[in-house]
Chain A
Amino acid sequence: MTNTLSGKSQGNEVPTKKKVTGAEAVVLSLLEEGVDILFGYPGGAIMPVYDELYKYQDQLKHVLVRHEQGAVHAAQGFARVTNDVGVCIATSGPGATNLITGIADAMIDSTPLVCITGQVAKHLLGTDAFQETDVVGISMPVTKWNYQVTKASEIPEAIAKAFYLAKSGRPGPVLIDITKNAQFEEFDFEYKKCEKVRSYKPVEPAEESTLEEAAKLINEAKKPYILVGQGVILSEAQKEFIEFVEKTGAPVASTLLGLSAVSADHPQYVGYLGMHGNYGPNVKTNECDVLIAIGMRFDDRVTGDLSRYAKQAKVIHFEIDPAEIDKNVKTDVAVIADAKEALTRLLPKLENRTHDAWLEEFRACDRLEEEKVHVNDFAPDTKKPKMAEVVKMLSEMTEGKAVIVTDVGQHQMVTTRYYEFRQSVSNVTSGGLGTMGFALPAAIGAKFGKRDREVVMIAGDGGFQMTLQELGTIMQEKLPVKILILNNSFLGMVRQWQQMFFERRYSFTEMDNPDFVKLAGAFDIEAMRVSDRESLHDGLTAMLNSEESFLLEVVVEKETNVFPMIPTGESVSNVRLE
């Protein structure tokens, strides 16, 4: 087989042409794609590109992270809040392999990324040369597409294709690996944006017949139930989606990544789905007659036991990726399309409906959840505050309008349950991969993406320590990211599972932590520790009032559990409230 960038056709832009090195071509190509910021870490095999970045730093900002994992998570955070492509750059070998976790995270959460890695010179490929790894091979299962460039002249076409593939259809990460010789070679640079690839069909219009079928089912439904996923946010279909929700009169629940697509105070919003989701949204899945899933993929954390999931319901699945149809849940009507396009065409086919009695059933579940769960989450019977209290107070103080970047664990589930998102595109978290260490670097990227919004990252003490070196990036960039650590000196979620399913054998989950306030001080970041309920409001006020970065450590109750909970392998009907 030949090593070519085949199957690609180009757009109509008039190309520019000048003699440049491959390294300069990388920078010029990024500029052609409208990139103005990238996150990275230099090293031997990418030095020619870094030399060009030095020259172009007035046009293209480079953020020096402290670990390549930080670069990729920052690019993810940027992509998630801007709905644009995030870009990161690293050297060969360890630089490239350090990106892999974030790439895998972006793949499963459909985040558009272009990752550029340096590679040893072409004549050294396959020789186990210094800092050589087969990053194209390693990243293959976790990229939407990847390509190794060995000649400078391939760079513009490869980068153009990378941006097109990352952003179009179901978004995802792509990786371009560039050998060092290709960075030095000179060639006539010209750039044409990619608008089409022969073997790639990013999205096609919804079939009229499926829209008709969907409309019929929805119009005739007695208990329709809508599940919203990130697809609605990715296609920027929030307006059409709200119209859809209001026309159907149906209750709407959100997946983890769908959170903030619908304002938490919308009268038809019933809450959060899944293993630690709200009670009603889970149990009512097995009582609805028509289940309408839009831009979500029926992850096992949402469905629990598939053999006992929504068996009574007709399932309508709106999804851009045909491979998701019937992958987990068998559908009755599959609308394969972009959510915005499909909803726009579906709306005129729908009759105005109300389902007040059905909606009231969810509210009854809410009351039960309040009685059984909230009383424990908020009752001040403990000396130290509980996570839920912190999140609820933060939610109220920011009026649900901050960009919330969470790490992975109990604090994440508590945040998704109690932060009342009032503004769309405000929830940045690691969903599918569940990557601890995600939040701090992702918050950096999110803040660069939305300088005008308050960005608050929330992490547990465990996850924070996985990437805490990125405090250095915050220090260097003087970036006003707010850092909230909910410290229970435990890997809380694992401890909860150990308590519930492993007879309280707390095997290596208790942590002796550093002094986070002193740590922040070492990075010249203002910090405060709060250990009691009475000081919580003052602590959050200090954090939110600060115009610079601020670390607030809240020492929370050590052993609290997150409920509701659907134990692994159980049905959504078997939600445990205590």
Chain B
Amino acid sequence: MEKKRFTLSIFTENTVGLLTRITLIFTRRKINIESLTTSASEIDNVHRFTVVFNSSHENAIKVLKQIEKQVDVIKCFCYEDQDIIFQEIALYKVSIHNLHEGNEVENIVRKSHARILAAQPDFLVIEKTGHEYETHELYEQLKPFGLMQFARSGRIALAKERQEVSAMLRDLAENSI
């Protein structure tokens, strides 16, 4: 079965342990989670998990159904990359000592639409927001200068479709005590 990259947007109650319940569904099927973020959503007391993973379409739907069946999960949506606007953030720490004369790094930063987040006597911290291939490209460009540290966040994503998630969640919120 052909594997693709899928992104799940999971709207949940704000409860302890739900993260484990959600990840267990991947674990038992031995599906590796590429990235996972969790945060507040647009609705008070409703949280959003964004999970990225590779799987066949058939298995992605089975995972979605098993997640949606969890008591504290309100709704789960499954997307392919073309269905969503998504971003990740990457931070790069570059040693000042490795920078040569001139403004080579500054040019790289400018061209890649990154920005210098912090400049310390010993190092620079550069921030880049984008898709994984974009943050990776900047990683490759900065590597010759000696990357001291690198970190990339998980994906956050919003659906392109004019979906009524907010309205649906508000309805749910209003109809419960």
Chain B residues with CB under 8 Å of A327's CB are 62, 65
Q: Is B66 located at the chain interface by the 8 A CB criterion?
A: yes
Chain A residues with CB under 8 Å of B176's CB are 7-9, 196, 198
Task: Tell me whether B24 and A199 are in contact (CB under 8 A).
Answer: no
Task: Tell me whether A1 and B71 are in contact (CB under 8 A).
Answer: no
CB of B18, distance to nearest CB on chain A (Å)? 8
Q: How far is the CA of A136 from the CA of B62 in the complex (A)?
A: 25
Chain A residues with CB under 8 Å of B173's CB are 198
CB of B114, distance to nearest CB on chain A (Å)? 32
Q: How far is the CA of A199 from the CA of B24 in the complex (A)?
A: 19
Chain B residues with CB under 8 Å of A1's CB are 14-16, 18-19, 47
Chain B residues with CB under 8 Å of A197's CB are 71
Interface 1/0s, chain B 46-89, versus A by CB < 8 A? 01000000000010011001101101111000000000000000
Q: Is A3 located at the chain interface by the 8 A CB criterion?
A: yes
* Closest A residue by C-beta to B19: A1
CB of A24, distance to nearest CB on chain B (Å)? 26
Chain B residues with CB under 8 Å of A209's CB are none
CB of B4, distance to nearest CB on chain A (Å)? 18
* Closest B residue by C-beta to A321: B69
Which of B66, B72, B177 sits near A10, CB closer than 8 Å? B177
CB of A443, distance to nearest CB on chain B (Å)? 31
Q: Is B13 located at the chain interface by the 8 A CB criterion?
A: yes
Task: Tell me whether B73 and A140 are in contact (CB under 8 A).
Answer: no
Chain B residues with CB under 8 Å of A187's CB are none
Q: How far is the CA of A329 from the CA of B71 in the complex (A)?
A: 25
Q: How far is the CA of A8 from the CA of B68 in the complex (A)?
A: 17
* Closest A residue by C-beta to B66: A323
Number of residues in A with C-beta < 8 Å to the partner?
A: 29
Q: Is A16 located at the chain interface by the 8 A CB criterion?
A: no
Q: Is A4 located at the chain interface by the 8 A CB criterion?
A: yes
Q: How far is the CA of A1 from the CA of B17 in the complex (A)?
A: 9
Task: Tell me whether A4 and B71 are in contact (CB under 8 A).
Answer: no
Q: In residues 1-48 of chain B, which contact A (Cβ within 8 Å)?
A: 12-21, 24, 28, 45, 47
Given that A165-B71, A198-B176 are known contacts, is A140 also in contact with B17, CB under 8 Å in the complex?
A: yes
Task: Tell me whether A199 and B13 are in contact (CB under 8 A).
Answer: yes
Q: Is A200 located at the chain interface by the 8 A CB criterion?
A: yes
Q: Is A2 located at the chain interface by the 8 A CB criterion?
A: yes
Task: Tell me whether A199 and B72 are in contact (CB under 8 A).
Answer: yes
* Closest B residue by C-beta to A330: B58
Task: Tell me whether A140 and B24 are in contact (CB under 8 A).
Answer: yes
Chain B residues with CB under 8 Å of A6's CB are 13-15, 45, 72
Q: Is B165 located at the chain interface by the 8 A CB criterion?
A: no
Chain A residues with CB under 8 Å of B58's CB are 326
Q: How far is the CA of A99 from the CA of B123 in the complex (A)?
A: 55
CB of A161, distance to nearest CB on chain B (Å)? 9
Task: Tell me whether B15 and A198 are in contact (CB under 8 A).
Answer: no
Q: Is B172 located at the chain interface by the 8 A CB criterion?
A: yes
Which of A7, A141, A326 sits near B72, CB closer than 8 Å? A7
Chain A residues with CB under 8 Å of B175's CB are 198
Chain B residues with CB under 8 Å of A146's CB are 17
Q: How far is the CA of A141 from the CA of B28 in the complex (A)?
A: 9
Task: Tell me whether A323 and B68 are in contact (CB under 8 A).
Answer: yes
Task: Tell me whether A323 and B71 are in contact (CB under 8 A).
Answer: no
Q: In residues 1-57 of chain A, which contact B (Cβ within 8 Å)?
A: 1-4, 6-10
Q: In residues 307-358 of chain A, which contact B (Cβ within 8 Å)?
A: 321-323, 325-327
Task: Tell me whether A199 and B14 are in contact (CB under 8 A).
Answer: no
Q: How far is the CA of A136 from the CA of B21 in the complex (A)?
A: 11
CB of A323, distance to nearest CB on chain B (Å)? 4
Q: How far is the CA of A200 from the CA of B13 in the complex (A)?
A: 10
CB of A209, distance to nearest CB on chain B (Å)? 20
Q: Which of B68, B71, B173, B175 has the most CB of A within 10 A?
A: B71
Q: Is A144 located at the chain interface by the 8 A CB criterion?
A: yes
Task: Tell me whether B177 and A9 are in contact (CB under 8 A).
Answer: yes
Chain A residues with CB under 8 Å of B66's CB are 323
Q: Is A145 located at the chain interface by the 8 A CB criterion?
A: yes
Chain A residues with CB under 8 Å of B172's CB are 198-199
Q: How far is the CA of A144 from the CA of B15 in the complex (A)?
A: 15
Contact sample, A vs B, 18 pairs, CB 8 Å cutoff:
A1-B16, A1-B47, A6-B13, A8-B176, A141-B24, A141-B28, A144-B71, A145-B71, A198-B173, A198-B176, A199-B12, A199-B71, A323-B62, A323-B65, A323-B68, A323-B69, A326-B61, A327-B62
- Can you name 17 extra interface pairs (CB under 8 A) apart from A9-B176, A327-B62? A2-B14, A2-B16, A3-B15, A3-B16, A6-B14, A6-B45, A6-B72, A7-B15, A9-B177, A137-B17, A140-B20, A146-B17, A165-B71, A198-B74, A199-B74, A199-B172, A326-B58
